[in-house]
Structure formats: C-alpha cells, structure tokens
Amino acid sequence: MEFLSQHMQTIITSAVILLCLLVAIGAWRAFSPRVSGGRRGQRLGVSEYYEVDKDRRLVLVRRDAVEHLILIGGPQDIVIEQNIGAPPEALPPGMARPAPRAPVFKTAPIRTAPDPAAPRREEPEI
C-alpha cells in the first residue's frame, strides 16, 4: 500500500495518457478513409487468372473500374494490356482505346477467382 500512495500521481497520469492515446487511435480509425472502408470499399482485386504453365499465370487485376492484364512468374513480370474498361477521360494523354481482340486461349476456360466474402463450401472427401 505504501508503494501505491507514494506513486499515485504517476499512476494516474499514466492512466490518463493511455486513455487519451486510445481515444485518439479510435478517432483516427473512425475518420480515416483508408481504414473505414474495409472489405466493402475494396479497390483492388484479382478478377480472373489463367495458368499458362507451372511457373507463369495471366492475371486480370481490377483497380476501381479499370482492369490490367499481367503475365506474372518466370524471369520477369509483364503488363500485357492496361486500362481495360477505363473511361476515355481516365486514359493517359495521347493513348487511344485499343480495339477489342478475339480470345487468345480457346483450350481451357479462364477460371474466376473466388470471392473472399462468399462462404466456403466443403468439398466431399473421397
């Protein structure tokens, strides 16, 4: 008890500082646009992917309303096509919208990435 009575002012000051810090962190998280969106306001995602071989994948990455086709894996990652579905005012100056192309891969369908918000379904064991 003697320890508490000698250091009561320090303990109360530390508790008040800790409480103020917790309130400040809570206010920052509540009003920060980056944190408040969470999964609902997700801006970046993988729309589809195609396994070219055991090392490389074609990935269709979505950012806001714009998609980019990227070849990842192997010695170097390559941007195949960018600004897919972007409005004309969002394109860089001097860049025209490319004409639509015919599908390149006809052997296997492109798989859609699973939605992280969707409930997982159990696979039956064999």
**Chain segment 11-53, per-residue pLDDT in tens:** 899 999 999 999 999 988 887 765 444 455 677 888 888 888 8
Coil vs helix vs strand at 7: coil
**What is the C-alpha to C-alpha distance for residues 56 and 26, in angstroms, rounded to an integer?**
43
pLDDT in tens, 56-92: 999 988 887 788 999 999 888 989 888 887 666 666 6
Cα angle at 44 between 39 and 45, to 5 degrees? 90
Contact indicator for 72, 57 with CB cutoff of 8 Å: yes
Strand order from edge to edge, sheet including 78-84 = 78-84, 66-72, 57-63, 44-51, 111-112
